[in-house]
Amino acid sequence: MPFSFVKYMKAKAASILAAIFFLARCTSDQTPSVSSAPPISDTVIISYSQDIVPIIQTYCLGVNGQLCHVPNTNQGSVGDFTTYEGLKTEVDNGMIAARVFQSNGGMPPSYSNGPTSLIDSDLQKFELWVDQGAPNN
């Protein structure tokens, strides 16, 4: 039986299509996303001094010479988060919600010397505190 180039190409094309179909099915992630932290009940009262200040110190003030959201910042960061009043101003004008709670908000920034994203439990606490009116408690 002589070699048939056309039959060879049809077989090759069928193999390639089967592989593409298989890979497309395998790469589709059907698993639901799972938060690493259990949800915090909205009945929990979040404390500015006990819960929020440590979050601000960890993610917002900067580390290793990078000064952010402090007086005389060397990063050009808007807002002084070393005081309740400074943070509350940014909560009230919507900047915290836009920059921190939105996935494309960019805070903390990718170039940060510290953490570049909030862990789930800290993000939940911060959002709940804002939802509770951002009290100075």
Domain ranges of the chain: 48-131
The Cα 129–Cα 101 span in angstroms is 12
What secondary structure letter does DSSP report for 61?
S
Decide if pLDDT at 115 tops 80.
yes
pTM: 0.72
Identify residue 82 by its one-letter amino acid code.
Answer: T
Rounded to an integer, the average pLDDT of 83-93 is 97
The Cα 137–Cα 129 span in angstroms is 10
Tens digits of residue pLDDT in 17-60: 444 444 444 444 443 334 467 899 989 999 999 999 999 999 99
